[in-house]
Structure 1
Amino acid sequence: MGSLSALASGEVLPMEQEFKQGYRMHRVLSNLNRLDVDRLDSADRERVETARDLLEKVSLLTWPGDGAAADVHTDP
């Protein structure tokens, strides 16, 4: 959680650290997209959808403006 506060405070992270964080976000988003949400109850489905939306928004904010983040989300 400390890394999030560093980002919020405007600190610049080393390139390798930024890459690792972006990779982790991509992996979490990929794992969420692989979930069989039809087997979840409605509250858990809503949580998964909220998490996906948040990760997509964060990805758009943290990736360079070349549109690379738009390719991260894939619908099942």
Structure 2
Amino acid sequence: MEQEFKQGYRMHRVLSNLNRLDVDRLDDADRERVETARGLLEEVSLLTRPSDGAGADAHADS
């Protein structure tokens, strides 16, 4: 459980840091990379929420 907490915290920190970037100062390619990273982190965050813990455990056992 502690490992899951650490991973969730790290994802939250990375997403927070990405959200703080001033994307207006980036070139188009970097702006696209930041948006892609944000989207992926938000998607992973939705999949790893504690409320889905039972489903994740069942999936890991299969």
Question: 1:59 aligns to what SS in structure 2?
Answer: helix
Structure 1 stretches lacking a partner, 5+ long: 1-14, 67-76
1:34-73 CA-to-partner distances (Å, cap 9, x unmatched) read: 000000000000000000000000000001238xxxxxxx
Question: What is the match of residue 36 of structure 1?
Answer: 22
Distance between the aligned counterparts of 1:61 and 1:20, measured in 2? 16
1:25 partnered with 2:11:
yes
Q: Which has the higher helix share?
A: 2
TM-score by length of 1: 0.66
1:55 partnered with 2:3:
no
Q: What is the aligned-residue identity percentage?
A: 90
**Structure 1 segments (4+ residues) deviating >2 Å:** none
Distance between the aligned counterparts of 2:50 and 2:7, measured in 1? 14
Aligned AA (1:17): Q
Structure 2 stretches lacking a partner, 5+ long: 53-62
Matched residues, number: 52
Question: What is the match of residue 10 of structure 1?
Answer: none
TM-score by length of 2: 0.80
Question: What is the match of residue 16 of structure 1?
Answer: 2
Question: What is the match of residue 51 of structure 2?
Answer: 65
